[in-house]
Structure formats: C-alpha cells, structure tokens
Copies of this chain bind each other. A is one copy, B any other.
Amino acid sequence: MNQEFIQAIYNFIPETRVLTELEDLYSYSFDASFGEYLPELVIQPKDPDEISKVVKLANKYLVPIYPRGSATSLSGGPLPVEGGVVLDMSRMNKKLVIDKENLLAIASPGVITADIHLAAEEVGLFYPPDPSSSHVSTIGGNLLENSSGPKGLKYGTTKEYVIRLEIVTPKGEIVRTGGKTVKNVTGYDLTRLIVGSEGTLAIVTEVTLRLIPKPKARKTLLATFNQLVDSGYAITKILANGILPAAMELMDNSCIRAVENFQPCGLPIDAEALIIIEVDGHPLAIDEEIRACEEICFSVGATSVKVANSDHERDEIWRARKMVSPAITELGPTKISEDATVPRSQIPAMMERLKEIREKYQLTLVVFGHAGDGNMHPNIITDKRNIEEMKRVEDAVSEIFEVAVELGGTLSGEHGIGTLKAPYLEMELGEAGVDLMKSIKEAWDPNHILNPGKIFPKPGVKKVVLTE
C-alpha cells in the first residue's frame, strides 16, 4: 500500500480509527458469501467529510475503496478483491429520526435495520423490507444490495422505500439525491440508480425512508402438501381471489427435514412442501381472508392447514421458517446461497429443474424462499476443501442461473451480483445492456475506485469459479 496515501489519511483520521494490524485486517476479509480477501487497510470514518477526503486521496493514489456494513452479504459485496481499503460504515450509526408527520425515517447508514423496524413501530408506523439478516445487517448494506425479504409481493422492495440519499460520489463529492416527497421527478432518479448498485456508484452516508401506517392486525397459516405443484396452485389461486398476502413462504422437503433434524418444530417430514401465508390489515378483513386462504389450500390438496390463533402460535410457525438457515448450515461446512428469481407462474417448473440439478450433480441442495414474488433461495451445502465436489457445485450453480434466465427470471432477486454471478451478467442483459451500465460506472468512476471487481465480469470469464 502506498505510504504517502496512508500518511495523508493519518493527517485527518486518528490512529484509533485506522486499522493496520493483521488480526484486525483478517476480521474484514470475509462476508457471508464464498471467498476471503485481505484488505491492506481498514478505515472507520465518522462523517461524510472524512469519507470525501478519503475518496479524493484514493483517486489521487489509485487505491480501491470497499464500503462495508455488517458484511452479511451473500454475493461478496464488501470483499476487498483487489486489496486496498475497507471502509467500515458500521460505526456511522448515530442518527435514527422518525418524522411521524411526514411518514419518514432518516438514518445513518450503519443503523441496524431491525432498529428502524422497532423505532417505526413504536409510533404506529411500518418499514416493510425485512431481509432475514435484519437483526444484524445495516440499512446502508440493505439498500446497496436492495435486499428485501418476504414482503416484496405486497409491499415492494427496499427500493420502493428509499426516497432520498446523502452520498459521497466516486470522485469524492458530497451530494444529496431525491427528496422528502414520494413524488419527485426533478431530473434523473439517482436514488433508485444507487439503491442496488452494490457500492460501485456511491458511498451512502444518510438514508431517508418512506414509512406507512402499521397494519392493525395479522394472521398466519402453515399448510403442507404432498405434491409441490399443489402448493404453487394454492399461491396462484389465493392471488386470483383478490387476496394480497404480506408474505407467502415456501419450504421444500429437504428444508423441512433439515429443520426437523436441527430443532424439531413438529413439521411433517414426508410433506413435499409447506407454505406459510401471512395476511395483514384491518382485523375484520383479515379474519375473512385467512379463512379463504385455508379453504383454498384444502381445495388444491393441502394435507394439513394450521391457522395461528395467538401470537405464540404465529411465532411457532415463523420459528420453523427462521430455523432454515441455521438448520442447513449444520448439513456441511460450506453453504452456497442463491436467489434465482422467476415469474411466479414458473415456480413449479423451477422447482422441477432444481430437483433434476440435485440428482444430476449428486449434491445437497435445499430450496426455500419467497414464493409470492418468485424469489427462491436454492442453497447448496458442501465442503470447499472437497475440490472434486466443488467442481460439481460450480456446474450446478451455473445451471441454476441458466434455468432462471431461461424461465424468464433473473440471476438475482435480492442478494446482488457481487463476484459470484458476474460471469453470467451478459447472459441475462445482453452486451448492449451491460454496456449501458458500464458506461455509467465509467462516467462516475473513471479510476475504478469504488468497489472494483463487482457486478461486471472480468474479460473472458464466463463461469463461476470456486476452486482457485
């Protein structure tokens, strides 16, 4: 690392917030995805001015900058794949203001998303996006990946709630995008361009989120099916009946078995699938809706339907869903977590193809996800030290991406492209589509300072590589 750069950093950031020891650098070398890359330096900035100065110096000395929240990324978002500086944004977590009258939350990027949920709910408001990691992940990380969780169908994704940003650009300018109003067409929508840009276009230093009134009540059911395709019919029929659930979650048989092995929740281990449906809104309306959902599930062949009659029973249902990640982690040391997303009508076809892929490559492949919006999470459990198996994993992952695109879907619903999916970008977007995106990156960041090595594939790389 350039010593002049480091000296210049010490001129305005105290040593306590500049980490250089190997043991510190190690703890910034990974996220929740695959791969480890050691940064050369970690900086813990406290405000946009410091970040602006760091980025201007980075441009002068051509040092890559990798912004990082809680590092729960499943696609390699914060990994310093080309060395340089990790910018630890998790310490910028002081501001969280709820503007009740304007239905807004204004937050520092390092605020934990679950704390925004709580602060909003305390005054009767609601921030719907809720990725599984929300109790540890930061709002800054959530929005740069546009990670959204189970409520996308009814409430939309993180993007639909971010209306204003304060950012530091790749050249080090401090800029505000968007505004405090839901309606705003003053120039291009830079806010939405930056949300989901995986830290390649801007470092976010403040977020303004739109909130909505908290739904007055909710009802939850769990239905099991002996035929996976029937659970698909249930989902389609519920929507066709004019019911828009807050969440419709699917777990396949491998997933059910993994949970029961890990921490028994009383799930039927022979069921090919289960779905969890939650409706929310006015108490009178949802009583009627949950009964209709129950009837529809039975009408398409559900083997059992359990409607939660209390908060405790609801928590029990969601516990089974929340056990999925820890349960499957027990199945092996390495977990490759995908988020191939298809149009809802293609879920049964996608599940069928995933079954074929599991058999073809003889892998531990479990599937769960947000069925209401077609956002499935196929997870492959493996051991990265087993090179022979990892080669099969590479082939299986490639095939999952190909199938998703073939069925009219997308490589990534909410985890981002990062490093793992970059080789497949052109398959989905075409050369001209990738070029449009690249030209924005080039225009804003000609020196490739911000999070290089993400989203865009290296020339000639056409396939995921896990075994280097």
User: Which of A's residues lie within 8 Å of B, judged by CB?
Assistant: 99-104, 124, 145-148, 152-153, 156-157, 159-160, 169, 173-177, 179-190, 192-193, 195-198, 201, 212-214, 216, 236, 239-240, 242-244, 281-282, 284-285, 288-289, 341-345, 370, 373-375, 408-417, 421, 425, 428-430, 432-434, 436-437, 439-440, 442-444, 455
Which of B104, B183, B414 touches A373 (beta carbons < 8 Å)? B183
Task: Give min CB distance, A202 to chain B, whole Å.
Answer: 9
A-B contact pairs, 19 of them (CB 8 A): A102-B344, A156-B160, A157-B182, A159-B189, A176-B430, A180-B408, A181-B374, A181-B375, A183-B375, A183-B410, A183-B413, A185-B414, A185-B416, A186-B429, A187-B433, A190-B433, A213-B242, A281-B281, A442-B443
Task: Please indicate the chain B residues that have their CB under 8 angstroms from the CB of A101 in the complex.
Answer: 236, 240, 344-345
Given contacts A101-B236, A284-B284, A410-B179, contact A185 B415 (CB under 8 A): yes
Contact (A242, B124) CB under 8 Å given A101-B345, A181-B342, A341-B183: yes
* Contact residue among B104, B409, B432 (Cβ-Cβ distance under 8 Å from A175): B432
Known contacts A181-B375, A281-B285, A408-B179; A436 and B242 CB within 8 A of each other: no
Contact A176 B433 (CB under 8 A): yes
For A434, the chain B residues whose CB sits under 8 A away are 187
Question: Are A180 and B436 in contact, with the CB atoms below 8 A?
Answer: no
Q: In the bound complex, do residue B185 and residue A413 qualify as a contact, i.e. CB atoms below 8 Å apart?
A: yes
Contact B413 A345 (CB under 8 A): no
The residues of B that contact A243 with a CB separation of less than 8 Å are: 213
CB distance from A134 to the nearest CB of B (A): 16
- Least distance between A396 CB and chain B CB atoms (Å): 19
User: Given the complex of chains A and B, what is the CA–CA distance between A286 and B289 in angstroms?
Assistant: 15
Residues of chain B contacted by A187 (CB below 8 angstroms): 417, 425, 429, 433-434, 437, 455
Complex formed: what's the CA distance from A180 to B187 in Å? 26
Pair A437/B344 contact, Cβ less than 8 Å: no
Q: Are B159 and A156 in contact (CB under 8 A)?
A: no
- B148, B195, B244, B375: the one contacting A212 at CB < 8 Å is B244
Check B180–A409 contact: CB distance below 8 A: yes
A146 to chain B minimum Cβ distance, whole angstroms, is 5
- Tell me whether A437 and B213 are in contact (CB under 8 A): no
Residues of chain B contacted by A341 (CB below 8 angstroms): 179, 181, 183-184
Query: Quick one: given A101-B345, A124-B242, are A181 and B429 in contact (CB under 8 Å)?
Result: no
Q: How far is the CB of A346 from chain B (nearest CB, A)?
A: 8
Chain B positions within 8 Å of A179 at CB level: 341, 408-410, 428
A402, chain B: closest CB distance, angstroms: 14
Nearest B residue to A238 via CB reads B213
B244–A213 contact, CB under 8 A?
yes
| Min CB gap A419→B, angstroms | 14
Residues of the B chain whose Cβ atoms lie less than 8 Å from the Cβ of A195: 189
Inside 8 A of A153's CB, which chain B residues have their CB?
182
A193 and B188 within 8 A (CB) = yes
Contacting pair A183 B425 (CB below 8 A):
no
Q: Which residue of chain B lies nearest to A101 when distances are taken between CB atoms in the complex?
A: B345
A197's closest neighbor in chain B, by CB? B188
Return A205 CB to nearest CB of chain B, in Å.
14
Measured between beta carbons, the chain B residues less than 8 angstroms from A409 are 179-181
Measured between alpha carbons, how far is A198 from B288 in the docked complex, in Å? Answer: 44
Q: Which residue of B lies closest to A154 (CB)?
A: B212
- Which of these, B183, B244, B432, B455, contacts A169 with CB under 8 Å? B432
Asked if B240 contacts A100 (CB within 8 A), the reply is yes
A186 interface neighbour in B124, B174, B417, B440, Cβ under 8 Å: B417
Q: Which of B345, B374, B440 contacts A443 (CB 8 A)?
A: B440
Complex Cα distance, B212 from A99, in Å, reads 29
